[in-house]
Structure 1
Amino acid sequence: MSSKSIFLLAIIMGGITTLLFNNYLKNSTAPTAAIVTENTVEIIVAAEPLKKNERITAEKLEFKTIPESALHPQTLMTKEELEGLFVTADMQTGEAFFSHRVQSEEDEKLFISRKVKPGYRAVSVSVNYVESVSTLTEPEDLVDIIFTETIEKEDKEEIVTKLLFEKVRVLAVGRKMVEPTSPESYSEYSTVTLELTPADAIKIVNVSERGSIHLMLNSRIDEPSDNSSK
């Protein structure tokens, strides 16, 4: 073999060796992808769209697995702590429940507009100590309403008293809208908010301007019935 051929072969072999060595260095220094297993948790999400003020039931809830790092500190985790609560804003399917987006039934009752049944209105009337059964009337009591007025008849005054309504639901006394669940300090009030139909609400406002009204407290043992006017 001529010296020229040997020189050419050496150059080729050197190039191959250099290429193989560089590939080896590249593979040996390349970062190895770390296999990371992230912890996950199960949370409760809405199984269907929910409207504002809608009550949460078990059928409207489902589980969803998310990375633990994505867990919000206010996320509610169990069905037990959600059932029976109300959502405070519209929710879409798959949304998580946060503590600031739900409220209890007692919180719900604190909004007088949410206590009023469909077709009825809340109307407040002034009462004094005697007229309100010594201010012993409480929210959710049922009362009969008596109206008294003085009528001038043949140069003399005549006092007329009649029963206006029976078993009217009391929504609030003063600013108290939730019935007491434990002994509490005595407090007086000067207004009572009642649940009446629009027509009956107008009627009671009219008669309260003409005379005085008294409340008769019904027993809670009696079966409640719808408001009825006389």
Structure 2
Amino acid sequence: MKSKIILIVALVFAIITTVLFSNYVKNLDNKYKNDKNLVKVVVLKQNAKKGQKITSDMLEIKAYSANSILPEAVKSTKDIDGSYALMDMKAGEELFADRFSNQANEKEFLSRKVKEGFRAISIEANFVESVSTLIEPDDCVDILFNEKTQGGTINTQTLLENVKVLAVGKRMVESSNNTVVEGAKNAAKGAQEAANPAQAEYSSITLELNPDQIKVIDNADERGNLKFVLRSKFEKKQ
């Protein structure tokens, strides 16, 4: 009798163990399937105000169901780290690249284009000195310095190399490649620009320099003549 009870108890425990193990396997399977449908996106840890600089410590990665996330959502913190918010945003909110402005496409505030530790300074430049006003924002230039000596000769030296251009005149972004197409769509505007091409010219170039370079360029600008030499876009950045 006693052995029968032990056998029954063993069978009951065996059934319970089988059921529990089966449920455990199903839960693991469901979890694995759900994980495959999750998408990791970048969200804010805290609220952000319009114009605020976004840093990596303000961001975190969270996983959401693929069905609840738009394809355009930011998926890497590197995409917006160092950018500026173009609107107010809430913590945990889904983020999109068009809600941020980075240094390359900033066109409203010059201070946002200047790298940390650097300064912006504008130098007067005529048509020839500015390579026929063909230098564009984000180009890199060398700066030549011409100074007349006491003997009347001209001393020329390369003052600075590979300097980044932040702006030309008041324009902080490169000219659109669609300028001709847009002009064709607007005949009146195109005719006006053709009649007065000087409208596209500028008389100053704004450079990104460190504090020591600022002193060098300002001193040289007072003593002699500066000329900008445009570098190729295909050169590797130093």
Matches of 2:154 and 2:160, distance apart in 1: 19
TM-superposed CA distance for 1:209, in Å, is 1.1
Matched, 1:80 2:72: yes
Matched-pair contact (CA < 8 Å) for 2:142–2:162: yes
Residue 130 (structure 2) aligned to one of 122, 129, 132: 132
- Relative to the length of structure 1, the TM-score reads 0.59
Per-residue deviation at 1:151? 2.0
Name the larger-Rg structure. Answer: 1
Higher strand share: 1
1:196 Cα deviation (Å)?
0.7
**Structure 1 residues 162 and 88: CA distance shift in structure 2, 3 A:** same
3-state SS of 2:217 partner: helix
Residue 45 of structure 1 and its aligned partner are, at CA, apart by 9.9
Name the residue aligned to 1:212: 225
> Counterpart of 1:54 in structure 2: which amino acid?
I
Paired residue type of 2:54: E
Matched, 1:201 2:199: no
Contact 1:138 1:179 in 2 (8 A): yes
Aligned 8 A contact 1:46 1:92 in 2: no
Partner of 1:191: 204
Q: Which has the higher helix share?
A: 2
Report deviation, 1:50.
Answer: 5.4
How many residues are aligned here? 166
Query: Structure 1 residues 60 and 179, CA, compared in 2 at 3 Å: closer, same or farther?
Result: farther
Q: Percent identity?
A: 40
CA shift at 1:182, angstroms?
1.0
Q: Gapped runs of 5+ residues in structure 2? A: 1-40, 181-196
| C-alpha distance after superposition, 1:101-152 (max 9, x if no partner) | 9444476343211111111111100000000011110011110000011121
Which amino acid is 2:72 matched to? E
Q: 1:32 matched to which residue of 2?
A: none
Partners of 1:207 and 1:164 lie apart in 2 by 9
C-alpha distance in 1 between matches for 2:61 and 2:71? 10
Match for residue 93 of structure 1? 91
What is the alpha-carbon root mean square deviation over aligned residues? 3.5
